[in-house]
Amino acid sequence: MPGNISSIEANLDCQDSATGTFRYRGSHRQFSANKTKFITYLKQQAQDRKLTQSRICFHENDDSILQVMFVYHSTGHKVRMHVHTDKDEYLHIIEGSLSIRIYGEDDKVIETFTLSSRPVQQNQDQFCFVPRCVVHDVVIQEDSFFLETTTGPFHKSSTILIDELKPA
């Protein structure tokens, strides 16, 4: 059954236990899944590994043109200031609340997008686009689950952590 987490879970390989990254190895034809089951699964995987994050990569491999990830970050998780030199990034909140801060040339915040799964109550967005070469970070206000979609292929070297560029 395509939407059953146990059938999808059977097709997950732990790609990186230090970051809680799993790769979906099942059929890359069509499938659907229940978000509640993924939320429970990712949160449990992070807790079992004593991590503040976990993710499932649904793209076939790092060379895939479309990179799709279901991501969990716990409250207080830090996504450091960084820039992607070769890919655009789309974030769609599923549950929780987070802010994407955009930085100017002087490392000052010039814009903040707060994504919340309760936009009617809080008048907040559910979707954000961050183009390549835009410096940003992410602040997690509460346990958050989101769909991250980017262009591929993935090259770790094209994500630059800004604090690593500054003198100590």
Q: List the structure tokens of 162.
A: 């800004």
What is the spatial distance between Cα 111 and Cα 63, in angstroms, rounded to a whole number?
A: 32
- pLDDT grade for 9, boundaries at 50, 70 and 90: confident
- pLDDT grade for 13, boundaries at 50, 70 and 90: confident
Q: List the structure tokens of 134.
A: 């835009």
Give the contacts of 134 (CB within 8 A, at least 6 positions apart). 83, 102
pLDDT mean over 121-136 = 86
pLDDT in tens, 51-110: 999 999 999 899 999 999 999 999 989 899 999 999 999 999 999 999 999 999 889 999
Q: Write down the pLDDT at residue 67.
A: 94
pLDDT mean over 107-119 = 90
Beta bridge mates, 20: none
The amino acid at 15: Q
For the chain, the three-class secondary structure string (H helix, E strand, C coil) is CCCCHHHHHCCEEEEECCCCEEEECCCCCCCCCCHHHHHHHHHHHHHHCCCCEEEEECCCCCCCCEEEEEEEECCCCEEEEEEECCCCEEEEEEEEEEEEEEECCCCCEEEEEEEECCHHHHCCECEEEECCCCCEEEEEEEEEEEEEEEECCCCHHHEEEHHHCCCC
What is the spatial distance between Cα 94 and Cα 67, in angstroms, rounded to a whole number?
A: 17
pLDDT in tens, 25-50: 877 666 677 788 888 989 999 999 99
Predicted TM-score (pTM) of the model is: 0.86
Q: Write down the pLDDT at residue 1.
A: 40
